Structure 1
Amino acid sequence: MNERKPTLRERQRSETRRAIQAHAVRLFTDRGYDAVTVADVADAARVSAMTVYRHFPTKEDLVLVDQPALLIAERVAASSPTHPLVHRVGGALVEAATALTGGDGGEPAANERFLLDCLRLMVSTPALRARHLDSQYALQQAVVDALGDDATDPEAAFRARAATGACLAAMHTALTRWADDDGRSKLPDLIARALAASFGHDVVARAGL
């Protein structure tokens, strides 16, 4: 069955949203998050402040990136339910990082720099840290939901949350290292190394990482 193609209106809305967020992250990075207003972002993007708020209800939303969570959940859902939870989640994290940073021949390095700038803003700005934590909880729930039958009863849900939380903790360590070295290391490799340090090289190797 063919997927429905986005309408012209939907494409325009998506392009406007991306443009607004790109200008916002650039301004926040150059001037500091607290020094930039929504009006500044609107001026840079050549739209009204109302248009900014229509796409991003709060200033904090301008730094949140939905794409990684969606990709991770998709990869988890597509993984084999016969594989151990850590393999499914860990493999999805590495695959999503590869896609997001252009390692699979997709998006160019510009997307990688944008993600790196968003990450730095999230971890270095006190006003954004709470939202960053909220986004991690939301990601954990999205992954648990994507595991499907593995989370249909309380005991299975507990195991799914434990495995997912451990994998996400390893990924957070990799993301912090990636930000610290200004993206010079490859993010998928860092995540694989963090997973290996957490669960052992044999476990990670069996997951195909």
Structure 2
Amino acid sequence: MGEMGLRERKRQRMYREVSDIAVRLFLEKGFDAVSVAEVAAAAQISKPTLFRYFPAKEDLVLHRIADHEEEAARIAAGHPEAPLAALRRNFLDGLARFDPVTGLNDDPEVLAFHRLLYGTPSLVARAHGHQERAEARLAEALGGDLDARLAAGQIAAVQRVLAMDNWRRIAAGEKAADLLPRAVAAAERAFGRLERGLPELGGGG
């Protein structure tokens, strides 16, 4: 057990280190200007080893958001009596701590990463796949039927639109701390509408 835990930690560290090296190169030179071979050389691993960890070049960047794929489903499954209230609370908590996933973060490195992500068509397309899988897992956690899939689609859309609105405002020069009250009010309003439209998911928490 201890050995497996150590091996898994080493594997996760390798993922993180190689991803960080790749993102630095992409930010410096542009995503399309950096080859996978260049990333492998900078990380001091072979190209086949790199592809074992990251099947596609885009995955080197999207590793940073891939761990959020299970988040909404985990929260919903953990609060089966009121999943929507739990998701709302989680999003508001994320805003309060300026979690980059909410779009409300003006750290220069986070902004540069978001510009790289949203400014590269192949990364946008790959990110869309992550969003679809996250939505599908949320739907399963909500019951897996058509009603659950419709609800998951609405919840995912609200979270995505809120995060993109925050990110666009910050990219235009607004400060995260100044934007926080507006972002909280927008999230409260959006989740309030979801709760009124999806009362069976236990809103109003």
TM-score, with length taken from structure 1? 0.71
Structure 2 partner of 1:106: none
Q: Distance in 2 between matches of 1:165 and 1:192?
A: 21
Which of 28, 53, 56 matches 1:55? 53
Q: Corresponding residue for 1:198?
A: 190
Is contact 1:98–1:188 with CA below 8 Å preserved after alignment? yes
Alignment of 1:121 with 2:116, yes or no, is yes
Partner of 1:12: 10
RMSD: 3.4
Q: Please give the residue correspondences for 1:95-114 in structure 2 after superposition, counting only pairs within 5 Å.
A: 101=99
Partner of 2:149: 161
CA 1:199 to 1:12, structure 2 compared with 1: closer, same or farther past 3 Å? closer
Could you say which residue in structure 2 is the equivalent of 1:175?
A: 163
Question: Would the aligned equivalents of 2:76 and 2:84 in 1 still touch at CA under 8 Å?
Answer: no
Report how far residue 73 of structure 1 moved: 2.4
1:20-47, CA deviations, whole angstroms, 9 ceiling, x for partnerless residues?
Answer: 0011112212221111111221222222
* Cα 1:8–1:36 shift into 2, 3 Å: same
C-alpha separation between the residues in 1 aligned to 2:180 and 2:138? 18
- CA, structure 1 residues 113+161, in 2 after alignment: closer, same or farther (shift >3 Å)? farther
Q: Per the alignment, do residues 21 and 100 of structure 1 end up closer, same or farther by CA in structure 2, a change over 3 Å counting?
A: farther
Amino acid at match of 2:120: T
The Cα of 1:55 is off from its aligned counterpart by 0.5
Gaps of 5+ in 2: 197-202
Deviations 1:47-66 (A, max 9, x none): 22222111001101112122
1:67-78 aligned within 5 A: 67-78=67-78
> 1:105 — aligned with what?
none
| 1:90-110 CA-partner distances (Å, limit 9, x unpaired) | 3444456778939xxxxxx9x
How many residue pairs match? The answer is 187
> Which AA in structure 2 matches 1:56?
F
Distance 1:178 1:146 in 2: 27
- After TM superposition, the structure 1 stretch with the greater mean CA deviation from structure 2, 136-145 or 183-192, is 183-192
**1:161 aligned partner, one-letter code:** R
Provide the TM-score with structure 2 as the length reference.
0.72
Q: How far 1:133 sits from its partner (Å)?
A: 1.4
Alignment counterpart, residue 136 of structure 1, candidates 111, 118, 131: 131
Greater relative contact order (Cα < 8 A, sep 6+):
2
CA shift, 1:176, in A, is 1.7
The code of the aligned residue for 1:82 comes to E
Q: Please say which of residues 18-27 and 194-203 is displaced more in the overlay.
A: 194-203
Q: 1:94 to 1:119 in 2, by over 3 A?
A: farther
- For the pair 1:82 / 2:94, whether they are aligned, the reply is no
| Structure 1, gaps ≥5 residues long | 103-108, 152-156
Q: What CA distance in whole angstroms lies between the structure 2 residues aligned with 1:138 and 1:52?
A: 24
Residues 98 and 176 in structure 2, CA contact (< 8 A), matched pair in contact too: no
Aligned partner letter, 1:120:
R
1:24 maps to a residue whose letter is A
Work out the CA distance in 1 between the residues paired with 2:73 and 2:183: 16
The structure-2 alpha-carbon separation of the partners of 1:57 and 1:141, relative to structure 1 and needing over 3 Å to count, comes to same
Matches for 1:144-159 after TM superposition, within 5 Å = 144-147=139-142, 150-151=143-144, 157-159=145-147
